[in-house]
Structure 1
Amino acid sequence: MPPLDTALARVPEPVRSLIVKHQELLKFAVVGGTTFVIDNGVWWALKTTVLDSKPVTAKAIGVLVATIASYVLSREWSFRTRGGRERAHEAALFFLISGIGVGINLVPVWISRYVLHLQVPTVGWYVQEIADFVSGSMLGMLLAMVFRFWAFRKWVFPQENARPRRAATVLRAVRSNSDNDSERVA
């Protein structure tokens, strides 16, 4: 049995059912966490080096790199059992929705920098960096994530069970193990 299945079998039943029921959302959150690290790593590297005077451009590049990783992880893991579209159409919709997500992600950092003027020399460097992180990496990413999850399920991967479903196999294996455990106890 794969390690993930083994770990799931050890989780108490009420929590296990909740995990299985919301596994798509949980996987989407893991992909989001991974792309959060990618996005912020690229953004920080660019805005502290070659794009130090263009933080919004640096953020856009970070989001773009993370979005490419997100497509691969979402298609092959988060929404593995969903589909219903030709791959080219699916990819086009994914990147269109992600492009809208990039815009949503950039709005808070743009407001922070250019409307609220939370940038050097108006404020200190430390305040500028905290404002960039809170507006771009927390608020912007959270708003974009909520929009993307909804839009991906609605338009990109609209049909449930369009591809082979592994979750049912995992659930059967977990139930089988717990049935065997209860037989041993009796």
Structure 2
Amino acid sequence: MRDFSARHPKLAKLAAEVGRFGSVGAVAYVVQLGATNLLWGAGMGPLSGQVVGTLCSIAVAFVGNRFWTFGDRARTGYGRETLLFLVMNGVGLAIQLACQGFSVHVLGLDGVLAQNVAGNVVGVGIGTLFRFFAYRTWVFPERPEAVAEGAAREPIA
């Protein structure tokens, strides 16, 4: 495995980022599930409960991703990163709500289990793929010197 990592440093770095992102995401997911189900149990509607639960998890995810998952990447300003993080999470939340809304309003599945599967499994899964790509591409970009070094090392075909 070390030999593979030495021969493919970009892939090894990506795998490490995926692992850290997954760990942060798992903690944020537990926060989101707990808050969402607590709110649903307290009588909040399915979509509004999903929104509030997701907002709680976004706060946890920002701290973990900024300081741990992508801690070695360029710092482009706290305000810029926060704004982009919120925008990308807004898109991720829209993906979740679209999945849940489809389940509730089109398929007529409005039970707690159906809400969890549609919003918290399918929606979060698709939204997570989008978020990982968005965070590493736009929110926490690579340091300019790392990009230049990588381009200098790649052989010309």
TM-score bucket (shorter structure): 0.7 to 0.9
- In the alignment, structure 1 segments of 5+ residues that lack a partner are 1-11, 120-127, 163-186
Where do 1:69-88 residues align within 5 Å?
A: 69-88=60-79
Paired residue total? 141
- What is the identity, as a one-letter code, of the residue corresponding to 1:69? V
Q: Normalising by structure 2, what TM-score? A: 0.82
**1:18-39 alpha-carbon deviations (Å, 9 max, x no partner):** 9953111110011111111000
- 2:58 is aligned with 1:67: yes
Is structure 2 residue 17 aligned with structure 1 residue 24?
yes
1:129 corresponds, among 84, 107, 112, to: 112
Bigger RCO of structures 1 and 2 (CA < 8 A, at least 6 apart): 1
Q: TM-score, normalised by structure 1?
A: 0.69
2: distance between equivalents of 1:117 and 1:15?
Answer: 49
Q: Which residue of 1 aligns with 2:150?
A: none
Q: Which structure has the highest helix share of the two? A: 2
Q: Please say if residues 83 and 156 of structure 1, whose CA atoms lie closer than 8 Å, have aligned partners that are also in contact.
A: no
Structure 1 residues 84 and 40 mapped into 2: Cα distance closer, same or farther (>3 Å)?
same
How high is the sequence identity, in percent, across the aligned residues?
A: 28
Larger-gyration structure (1/2) = 1
How many angstroms apart in 2 are the aligned matches of 1:15 and 1:133? 39
2:137 is the counterpart of 1:154: yes
Structure 2 residues without counterparts, runs of 5 or longer? 146-157
